[in-house]
Structure 1
Amino acid sequence: MTMQTRKLGSTGPQVSALGLGCMGMSGVYGEADRPEAVATVHAALEAGVTLLDTGDFYAMGHNEMLLGEALRAAPAHLRDNALLSVKFGAQRDPGGGWLGVDGRPASVKNFAAYSLQRLGVEALDVYRLSRLDPDVPIEETVGAIAELVEKGWVRHIGLSEVGAETIRRAAATAPIADLQIEYALLSRGPEREILPTLRELGIAVTAYGVLSRGLISDHITADRSFAANDFRSSSPRFQGDNLKHNVGLVASLRRIADGKGATVAQIAIAWVLGRGDDIVPLIGARTRERLSEALGALDVVLDAADLAAIEEAVPAGAVAGERYAPAQMALLDSER
């Protein structure tokens, strides 16, 4: 297949229309298979996926080291095409507990130094603070990344989960390529104010949570339980009556998918792809099988009748439960 491409804003790089989100390869959704994860990264590169997304705090550096291993083992022509989007700033204790966010300029440079080493690259293609540090003005954090750009250690500046006001302040400080934010059929909050602001400023979106952490799939049932080390065990959308309600929404979507000869996951990905050429969905595939399914969304064409049926089946605001637990929601500048 020939991979479609999209540009990350007016100042960012040209990337594949779908990106690979690597977080799940480090145990966030239960135990992960390292050899299969490496094979999945290679399969994505072979399919033309160039954008690989990670975070230095995903399993305390594990994800960056895994991705670095996968890149070293990839053929040179594929490795050279890879573009790395890296988040930083989240602080964890040895048990994985949350300690807050650090966006201080000195910390920005320190985090970057470790990421460059773990990934085994000379520069990070897109670098972004994972969550806004309430104690550090965004201008100081973005300004520090801009200094890394000047020195050649970072190529482009991104943002993550921030609101319209913060986006404007960041863009007034330095060129911003994209905002990473959850955007999906079940998470449409960015449509109100954030997307219009981004489009006014020429900033793209890398959308994560496109399948709502596997909820929009053929693998989650109303009675599903999750292991304690699975993020979904504490996610409001996967609890009790919320899960039953949300599985019902997916069942309505499945009827549309069946009519298109597609899976519900492919319909959900195609829907996000169709929301604008400035949006790049990140697919959190942990296996080659799931990757292959996601790539199939590129062949799904949704016409006006399909979009109307999807809107009727899953209207904006229909989901039950917030996308994070209350303590995590409180950290999101994008939700203020």
Structure 2
Amino acid sequence: MANSTNLVAGPFPLSKIGLGCGVFSGAYGLAPQADAVKAVRTALSNGVNLVDTSPYYGDSETKLGRALLDLKDEFPRSSYHICTKVGRYGYHISDFDYSRKRISESILESMHRLHTDYLDIVLCHDVEFVDVSQIVDIALPKLFELKQQGLVRKVGISGYPLDVLLRICQIQQGRGFPLDVCLSYCNYNLHCQALTAAVPKLRAAGVETIIAASPLSMGLLSDDETPEWHPAKSELKAAVKQCIDLVRSSDKISLAEIAENYAFSYNDVDVHLVGAKTAQEVEHALRAYAHAQQLQLHAYGKYEDDNIQRICAQIKTILEPFAEYTWPSPPANA
């Protein structure tokens, strides 16, 4: 199991593994409140000090807030960082609202659900769905105002297309208000390594904390059925299915383990954000992080087991054609 000393690093003292609580919504299977409490307790007990959520994630904020309230005697508010988001409240573009009024309301609603009087990090959620001007001329100036008031500690953005994220970061730097945080998801994993080229540019744009989310690519790289809603093209899903079948020939490792070991070996980001809805899933992620750091894995790992090493080499061959592939975001039907 990883420990707090190994997990905490960086200029803003965030743990290297963060707990993604979007899975509390039930989008990845049943997520009872009791399991949420156990997942949060396990994470905080093992040095994880960042929990991430959003109003868009169903009742995730409510479940996380209740869990933190239940655990307040064990873990006071000062012992962890809460990251939540504003701007996105549904699937369609019409469900986005980055007005100053809605941002103020959203912050207060989130604080109420999370039982806190301040938020450590607030991100504009999925910024690629709206015109950049809504983010840089309306939303971010309002969030920086709230930062001055002490309601928000750090301000940033989240999204999928790296070019959009970088453009906004560069605009903010040019205006003298560089972003504290940038969260990118599904851009560093077994099938995509696009984030490696973007990280130096984000640093050059003044971003203090870079978060890489979803090492399992929103469930695509797990050993279960891919969620029906997953936006990857059919060719990539078929290639991942080949990898799953290949890994099943070994009883010593799973595709999820290989994927997490691979993602967590990338140390140029400040935080790896992992969705986990049970204590067991949290423990699995922490073991994978400790394993990756212990072995200092590179390019598909250095496993002592020759069969596992052979499987990893085959996975690399299967997924290599997709290394620069990204799906459209927003999707055509948004």
TM-score range, shorter chain: 0.7 to 0.9
1:119 corresponds to 2:114? yes
Q: Number of aligned pairs?
A: 308
What residue ranges of structure 1 are gaps of 5+ in the alignment? 227-231
CA apart distance, 1:297: 1.2
1:211 corresponds to 2:211? no
Q: 2:282 is aligned with what amino acid?
A: L
TM-score normalised to structure 1 length? 0.79
Contact 1:40/1:286 (<8 A) preserved: yes
126-135 or 198-207, larger mean C-alpha shift: 198-207
CA apart distance, 1:247: 2.0
Alignment of 1:90-109 (within 5 A): 90-92=88-90, 99-109=94-104
Contact 2:119/2:151 (<8 A) preserved: yes
Give 1:229's aligned residue.
none
Whole-angstrom distance in 1 between the partners of 2:142 and 2:269: 26
Give 1:20's aligned residue.
19
Cα 1:140–1:20, aligned 2, differ >3 Å: closer, same or farther? same
Cα 1:189–1:320, aligned 2, differ >3 Å: closer, same or farther? closer
1:248 corresponds to 2:239? no
CA apart distance, 1:158: 1.7
Give 2:157's aligned residue.
159
RMSD (CA atoms):
3.2
1:197 corresponds to 2:192? no
Alignment of 1:1-336 (within 5 A): 1-3=2-4, 4-7=6-9, 13-59=12-58, 62-80=59-77, 81-92=79-90, 99-132=94-127, 133-134=130-131, 136-161=134-159, 162-172=164-174, 173-182=176-185, 183=187, 184-192=189-197, 194-200=198-204, 201-217=206-222, 219-220=223-224, 224=225, 232-237=227-232, 239=234, 242-250=236-244, 263-300=254-291, 301-304=295-298, 306-307=300-301, 313-314=315-316, 318-319=321-322, 326=328, 328-329=330-331
Whole-angstrom distance in 2 between the partners of 1:318 and 1:205: 26
Contact 2:178/2:207 (<8 A) preserved: no
Contact 1:68/1:118 (<8 A) preserved: yes
Contact 1:270/1:302 (<8 A) preserved: no
CA apart distance, 1:127: 0.4
Runs (4 or more) in structure 1 with deviation over 3 Å come to 5-8, 236-239, 249-255, 261-264, 302-313, 315-324, 329-332
Whole-angstrom distance in 2 between the partners of 1:271 and 1:115: 34
Whole-angstrom distance in 2 between the partners of 1:116 and 1:211: 29
39-48 or 170-179, larger mean C-alpha shift: 170-179
CA apart distance, 1:136: 1.3
What residue ranges of structure 2 are gaps of 5+ in the alignment? 303-308
Contact 1:246/1:319 (<8 A) preserved: no
Whole-angstrom distance in 2 between the partners of 1:32 and 1:22: 10
SS at match of 2:89: strand
Whole-angstrom distance in 2 between the partners of 1:299 and 1:147: 39
Cα 1:304–1:48, aligned 2, differ >3 Å: closer, same or farther? closer
165-174 or 313-322, larger mean C-alpha shift: 313-322
Whole-angstrom distance in 2 between the partners of 1:331 and 1:142: 27
Cα 1:304–1:97, aligned 2, differ >3 Å: closer, same or farther? closer
Identity %: 23
Q: 2:14 is aligned with what amino acid?
A: V
CA apart distance, 1:77: 4.3
CA apart distance, 1:243: 2.5
TM-score normalised to structure 2 length? 0.80
SS at match of 1:91: coil
Cα 1:236–1:156, aligned 2, differ >3 Å: closer, same or farther? closer
Whole-angstrom distance in 2 between the partners of 1:104 and 1:250: 44
